[in-house]
Structure 1
Amino acid sequence: MASAQQTDDAASDKHTWKDEIRDLMRGVAGAAIIGVPLVYTMEMWQVATTFNATEILLLLCFGFAVCVGYNLFSGFRKGNGLVEAIQDALEAIAIGVVLSAVLMALLGAIDLSTPLSDAMSRIAVEAIPLAIGASVANTQFDGGQQDRESSDEEKPGAQEAENRHKTLHEIGIAAAGSLVFAASIAPTEEVALVAQRLSPLGLIAIAAFSLGLSYGMIFVADFTGSENRQKDSGILQSPVGETVLAYAVALAVSLVAVCFFHGVEITASPFTVVALTVSLGLPAAIGGAAGRLIV
């Protein structure tokens, strides 16, 4: 009997590939929520090119030390030993570097014409807040699953009305989160600068990345019990339907913010309006996902 208990414990402690993907996605989610507003800061792009290799290395070491310190108490994985903290910090830095490179490329801050030293400097500098965001992910957003489960048990009937209520609730939360993120970035000239650099293919890439990241933050990172979300019936309550709806809300919020802060007129080029909206739609989508995680 003791042997069977040990076998069950070993099975429960086994870290599967699904768990690994979930943990990494949690890190990406935290990095996006904490660091993306700084990615839309031109001063960060410019100051990065003034640093030499030694200064960049020192900044990365500082970021690594902060991540280790935080991971000793909590991180995007379970466990708080020194070895685990160092491992998590290394992975947080890696997440920060990869996500920074992807975002810099999507926003046009780096391209094939950018000098290699400038590109690496920008990626490294932007990676630091992203890495710290990856480290704080678990404590800030890991919760709410039990509340959702208990809520579902308390309201077994009126499924159609409940689904409609959930849909309206998700729309409201997504709009609020999108507005918080979009309003902090919309007034800046970076939005217009990014929009000017975007090609039609670039627009599609940003839209696809926004959808994928939003889906991953809610249904892959599994901070708040995505299994309960997936049990709900209805097109808009499915993972894909909910993600598309939330992104549509983010784009609507972005369009309003663009018209308000950038004075877009009716005579403006449709492509310009779409480019401004989609470029602001990325942080808005992240804000919408963050709102749905927190509430």
Structure 2
Amino acid sequence: MEMWWIGFHIEPFRLIALILLSLPLYVGISSMIGFREEKHLWDNIIDVLVAYALAFCASALVLLAFRVITSETAPDEVFSMILLQAVPGSLGALLARSQLSTGQKDQDSQEEKYTGELIILITGALFLAFNVAPTEEMVLISYLMTPWHSIALVIFTVLVMHMFTVGSESLAKSGSGAWSAHRRLFIRFTAIGYVLAFAVSVFMLWVFGRSENDSLQHFISTAVVLSFPAGVGAAASRLII
């Protein structure tokens, strides 16, 4: 419900910023799991535009079926609501190929592979953050927490993320080799993943107007709360995509 209610009053430049920043991310996702096997830039751009078009139509049909959009709804509100819903909807359209495709992935260089891993981390964080960032629960939970609770939640989030990270790798080493592998994975994926999840959380809270009339300390606390599902989504995405 929060998603379409936000569509009534979201500021246009926040919505435009969300779309403009999501486009290069979606193009990166399409280069790995697009509708077609080609990885040319224009093919990926077309895939993203197709995903947006499908999500826009699907969002309009769902909102009409739920009678959220009626003949009395102002045209600008209709457009904002549908466009806002289409952003996560298009992400779902792109991710559908990852779940339904049985094709083989190309072998990339180590640098390209790591860049792809970072894109996957951001995608997972965005995917789960979109589900809870518009809700009031994130703000209400942060009001209940002290700074010590926030620190504890950061540590807990990182631990959960690292369990997913280790689960996505085959660590057959033992002794000092295992500790070296854990340290490498922690720095490359867990720590970097949490930073990316926190950045995604801050951006999503700003888009949905959660930073308005709020202190910096409480805004950071809310971002820490949102970083828990975002971080889990980022870490789990390497197992799914």
With normalisation by structure 1, the TM-score equals 0.40
Bigger Rg, structure 1 or 2: 1
With normalisation by structure 2, the TM-score equals 0.49
